[in-house]
Structure 1
Amino acid sequence: MSINAITKPHDATGARAPGKLILSGEHSVVYGAPAVVVAIERYIELWFTPLHKTGGLQTAFETLAPRSFYPFDILKGFRDSLDRRFDEFMRGDLPVQKILKRPDDLAIYTLTSLLPMLPAPGGTGGPPLPIPGQLTSRSEMPLGAGMGSSAAVVAATIVLYEHLLGLPQSAEDRFKKVRFCERLQHGKGSAIDASAVVFGGANRVQGEDIRPIGLTDDHSLKTSDGWYWVIHGRPEASTGECVAQVRLRHGQDTQLWQAFGDCTTKLETVLETNGDPREVIRENQSLLEQIGVVPVASARFAKAVQVTGGAAKISGAGSVKGEQGGAMLVYHPNAEAMTELMKAYPDREWDRLTIAQKGAELMPANTQEPSMAAQ
């Protein structure tokens, strides 16, 4: 994906966080089963440029929403209102997709989560308020397609404002904050996305337990040999909607979730031995079709991959309506066959899977700011 950019203004500061792909365990992780997730080298970047006389924050987020302005004096009330909307969701009075009114609300809410850490006005040890200015973003991943874009926005916001406000945190504290803030996007979610965007690399996630998966330097995942991601359209249903629908239909089916867990355990064994993952990927896809999160078009694509000698599965929540399933994981040992296959899908974005070894971090000093910078 090409990104148009201009030279970064000297006073702009940026942070970035990687996206993610779930290799196994989406949906089942909510019911206590393990999951395997990798951070990928596709990033969401967030930039801050000071605008000292504005008295608040102006957002100009690429592909998210029109410019908006958030005065500082409303931030606490804004945070409290979103907390109340989440409580309404938990009571069953509000659908998950109605918690946030605007896509950039999530970044501003994340900023408000840092406010209790600031000294009181007139105190010492740091600035009493956030710095007025503009937040600008750009993304190397499609939003809402199962690649962890909302968690990446939260993680990048936290790292950026840790730096701007002089409030450094540990990776573990960042992880907790990402999970807390991201609940507004997904409702009752898991630790999968937060683990990828904060810690980077490849991780096994089960409940609150996060464990790095050791991969040798010549591992196919490390060398991007045979592993791909394909965006099979943007799902019509949000992650929260999918999780809620699956819970309604299959939440009490312990045998089903055990089958998902067994599938993930098999994949872990394959990864540890750098073996052929095609059989277990196909099994995983079959289970995802069983719970109803694989749209017809996405199922057809997985079959097309299999016919040519590869394996594919939904990687993320999928969708419970429409034709688009979002991100899909593909393993194909024949690069030429994969390239030839994708010629039949010219509108699908795809690439080799490259693991991001680091999670959210400040942007390097010589990095360019997105072309949407304040004029």
Structure 2
Amino acid sequence: MRTSASTLTSTPDAIAHAPGKLILSGEHSVLYGAPALAMAIAQYTEVWFQPLSPGEGLKTAFQNLSAGASYPLKMLGNFKSSLDQRFDQFLRGDLEVHKILTRPDDLAVYTLASLLQDAAESQDGEITGIGAVGHLPAPGQLGSRSDLSIGAGMGSSAAVVAATTVLFETLLDRPKTLEERYKRVRFCERLKHGKAGPIDASAVVRGGLVKVNGTSVEVPQVPKDHGLLKGDGWYWVLHGSPESGTGDCVAAVRKAHGHDTPLWDDFAACTHALEDALVTAASPKEAIQENQRLLERIGVVPEAAQRFIQDLGAQGATAKICGAGSVTGDFGGAMLVHWNDHEAMTQFMAQHPSLAWSRLQMAERGAAAGPAPRRNDQEQTQ
């Protein structure tokens, strides 16, 4: 059900959610023409809007992200323009990418401003605040909570953009197609990473398993009883926050291996092998191990992360890092673990109480209105 723009309340209709993502295979190699395989995960970001008393402007309250910020409603147009200008400075080489956004809340508010601008332009108007477009009550609070770790390769920024997009599609009564949402997420997320590829946007918008090859996006189907759909035998582990940013890792790999075509062909073959294993319910062990060996070869798996994966392997599990990894420090970020012995996994992780982990379950649906699905079987340690 859609909420009328003139009767917005803080009911569940004024909330939306989006899943995170993990790259299962193809990180780095996707930049050299190889395919990448990713999946939406049942770890969610929720975003909601709640009206406030007159005169309070737009306020943010993002759990575990910031202390909140205030944005004058009449300045949303100028706010968006200023970030667009900062992005242009980045493109010219005059500004570092991490300086485009000055506050953690900026990305969600930019998404809102871009949606309002769309609505205003369709009415030959200007962005002058929420109350000026669609007659939404103003001011209000834009709030968020998330299960996703920041900067760990779990698609946290794409998820907040996708959830914000769906939320205000509903409130403005301007629904978008999946392709339009996908383009919106890529457009807004470019402020976070400098260039937003198709992987994160495809996964959080479409849900399920996605295979990206250049500009094409496929949606492979796994069997209905697959462990990924049930959260059975698959896990994610957060092996600390990588010391190197994605850009640093990409630059280091490009310098050392950018022209090694046979290497990227090996990555492509590995991705195809993992896809085949998943869609046929065959053992993924060999493909995961080969992917990890290739990632170690390009130098993005810190030694401490390698030892952790080796220790898992010695116990019978199979694991790899997911995402850019790191070229400095000890931590590798998000990891994929396949182990059909849940008790053994629990006992192993009990030896690493500082690491967050959970069953890995595919989110079959992408960004949508309403609160995020709740899982009762989730086990996690922080």
Alignment of 1:324 with 2:331, yes or no, is yes
Q: How does 1:182-261 map to 2 (within 5 A)?
A: 182-261=189-268
Q: Distance in 2 between matches of 1:324 and 1:36?
A: 23
1:346 pairs with 330, 353, 357, which one? 353
Cα distance in 2, alignment partners of residues 50 and 366 from structure 1 = 24
For the residues of structure 1 that align with 2:362 and 2:354, how far apart are their CA atoms?
Answer: 24
User: CA offset at residue 60 of structure 1?
Assistant: 1.1
Per the alignment, residue 280 of structure 1 pairs with 287
Secondary structure at the aligned position of 1:328 is classed as strand
Number of the residue aligned with 1:299:
306
Alpha-carbon distance in structure 2 between the residues aligned to 1:274 and 1:11? 37
SS in 1 for 2:179: helix
Map of 1:1-375 to 2, 5 A cutoff?
9-10=10-11, 13-54=14-55, 56-118=57-119, 119-121=123-125, 127=134, 131-364=138-371
Mapped partners of 1:229, 1:9: distance in 2: 33
Summarize deviations over 1:1-36 as a string: whole Å, max 9, x none.
Answer: xxxxxxx95487211100111111111112221111
SS in 1 for 2:354: coil
Q: Distance in 2 between matches of 1:356 and 1:340?
A: 26
Letter in 2 for 1:78: F
CA contact (8 A) 1:126 1:166 kept: no
Q: Report if the CA contact (8 A) 1:12-1:50 is conserved.
A: no
- How far residue 127 of structure 1 moved from its aligned partner, in angstroms, is 2.1
CA pair 76-129 structure 1, distance change in 2 beyond 3 A? farther
Local SS of the residue matching 2:87: helix
- 1:148 is matched by which residue type in structure 2? G
Q: Which amino acid aligns with 1:224?
A: G
1:346 CA displacement: 1.2
Structure 1 range deviating more: 258-267 or 184-193: 184-193
Question: Aligned partners of 1:340, 1:366: CA distance in 2, in Å?
Answer: 28
Q: What's the secondary structure of 1:82's corresponding residue?
A: helix
Q: 1:100 to 1:364 in 2, by over 3 A?
A: closer
**Any conservation in 2 of the 1:107–1:154 contact (CA below 8 Å)?**
yes
Distance 1:221 1:323, change over 3 A: same
Name structure 1 gaps, 5 residues minimum. Answer: 1-7, 368-375
Q: 1:365 to 1:289 in 2, by over 3 A?
A: closer
Distance 2:23 2:115 in 1: 29
> Residue 364 of structure 1: CA displacement?
4.5
Conserved 8 A contact 2:46-2:372: no
Output the CA distance in 2 between the equivalents of 1:304 and 1:277. Answer: 19
C-alpha distance in structure 2 between counterparts of 1:365 and 1:16, whole Å: 5
Q: Is this contact kept in 1: 2:51–2:140, CA < 8 A?
A: yes
Aligned residues: 359
Q: Which residue of 2 aligns with 1:370?
A: none
